[in-house]
Every structure is written in structure tokens, then in C-alpha cells.
């Protein structure tokens, strides 16, 4: 269920926090971590993020690891899980530039969407993205996310106001795409 051809979804390992803390300094990664003030995360902060989600009914977090050597390449989360409304928000990140644009994100999203729709019975999984993050947008649409809307001048980024786009995928559409 959690294993693809090149990546798998896994639990937090002891050294993951230290690795993520060191890798977070890539400008293309750090600037997309939050839409508010950027805070550098310590190894303990990263560990806390994963461990707090272990027993949560509102959030789930997985590390993304290569299947061939178990090396950490990223993480994927489902947050704000609403049991009543069967919806949640997807977050995904690849801190190291050399782990981007290799298909890991697409494969990890397929795994987490399968989990969200088949195990958690989500009706809708949504996400937000900067429109200029074209690699992410390409990966999202490849697995079936559809743009629902845009908020104009929502974020002050790199000295100017930028939009945020909102995408979603529905359970029925996911199942139809899998046939």
C-alpha cells in the first residue's frame, strides 16, 4: 500500500530531523514551507512535527524514502482531516534540489492519495500552491488535481504580492482515473 517503484511512504527515523534541518536552507524549499514568516526549523522541531502526528486524528505525516536504499528524500502530510466532511489538505516537500524533478513527488502523491481515499475515505483532498511553482503544479495536475480558484495578492513573497492557487481532487475522480 505504501510502496511504489522508486519511493515509499515511511515513518520518521532517528536522524531525519537533523537531515531536514540541514537541507531546509535551499531557497526554493524554504520559501514554500509557509505562507507567513519563515522560521528555521531545528532537528527537534522536525521531530516534533512527525511525532505529534503519530497519535493525531487530524493530521498524518510520512517520510518519503527511496525504495532501493531507504534514503530520505522528502515528506508528505495530510492535515486538517475532517472526519465529518471527509476532506483534508495535502502537503509535500523535497528539501534537496537533487531529489526534485525525478518523479518522486508524483509517485509519493499517488501513494498518499490512495491512502487518503481508500483508507481514510476522504471525499476531497485539497492543496494550495504558488502559481510560479510550475514543477509542483505539473505534478499535481498529473495525478488528477484540478484548479478550483485563486486568491489574488495573497502573499508577500520576494518583494512583491503573489497569488495562491487552490487545487483539489475528489474520491470519485481518483477512482475513475485508477481504472
Each of the 179 residues of the chain gets a pLDDT tens digit; together they read: 699 999 999 998 888 888 888 877 776 676 666 555 566 788 888 888 787 777 778 989 999 999 999 999 999 999 999 999 999 999 998 888 888 889 999 999 999 999 999 999 999 999 999 998 888 999 999 999 999 999 999 988 888 999 999 999 999 999 999 88
72-82 and 87-93: which strand pairing?
A: antiparallel
- When divided into structural domains, the chain yields a total of 1
Does residue 151 lie within any of the structural domains?
no
- Measured CA to CA, the distance from residue 66 to residue 62 in angstroms comes to 13
- Measured CA to CA, the distance from residue 130 to residue 17 in angstroms comes to 26
Does residue 163 lie within any of the structural domains?
no
Does residue 15 lie within any of the structural domains?
yes
Q: Given the residues 75, 115, 140, 167, select the one marked as catalytic.
A: 140
Estimate to the nearest angstrom the gap between the alpha carbon of 13 and the chain centroid: 18
Domain span at 95: 7-127
Buried residues in 63-84 as b, exposed as e (16+ CB within 10 A): bbbeeeeeebbbbbbbeebeee
Q: Please confirm, yes or no, whether 166 is among the known catalytic residues.
A: no
User: Which DSSP state fits 97?
Assistant: G
pTM above 0.95, yes or no: no
Amino acid at each position: 500500500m505504501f510502496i511504489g517503484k522508486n519511493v515509499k511512504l515511511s515513518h520518521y527515523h532517528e536522524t531525519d530531523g537533523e537531515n531536514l534541518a540541514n537541507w531546509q536552507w535551499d531557497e526554493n524549499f524554504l520559501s514554500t514551507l509557509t505562507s507567513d514568516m519563515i522560521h528555521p526549523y531545528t532537528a527537534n522541531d522536525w521531530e516534533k512535527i512527525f511525532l505529534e502526528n503519530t497519535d493525531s486524528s487530524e493530521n498524518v505525516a510520512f517520510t518519503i524514502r527511496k525504495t532501493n536504499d531507504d534514503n530520505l528524500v522528502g515528506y508528505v502530510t495530510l492535515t486538517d482531516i475532517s472526519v465529518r466532511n471527509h476532506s483534508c489538505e495535502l502537503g509535500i516537500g523535497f528539501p534537496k534540489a537533487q531529489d526534485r524533478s525525478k518523479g518522486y513527488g508524483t509517485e509519493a502523491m499517488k501513494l498518499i492519495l490512495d491512502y487518503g481515499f481508500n483508507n481514510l475515505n476522504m471525499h476531497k483532498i485539497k492543496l494550495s500552491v504558488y502559481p510560479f511553482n510550475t514543477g509542483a503544479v505539473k505534478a499535481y495536475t498529473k495525478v488528477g488535481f484540478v484548479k478550483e480558484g485563486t486568491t489574488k495578492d495573497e502573499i508577500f513573497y520576494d518583494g512583491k504580492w503573489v497569488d495562491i492557487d487552490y487545487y483539489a481532487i475528489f474520491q470519485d475522480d481518483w477512482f475513475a482515473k485508477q481504472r
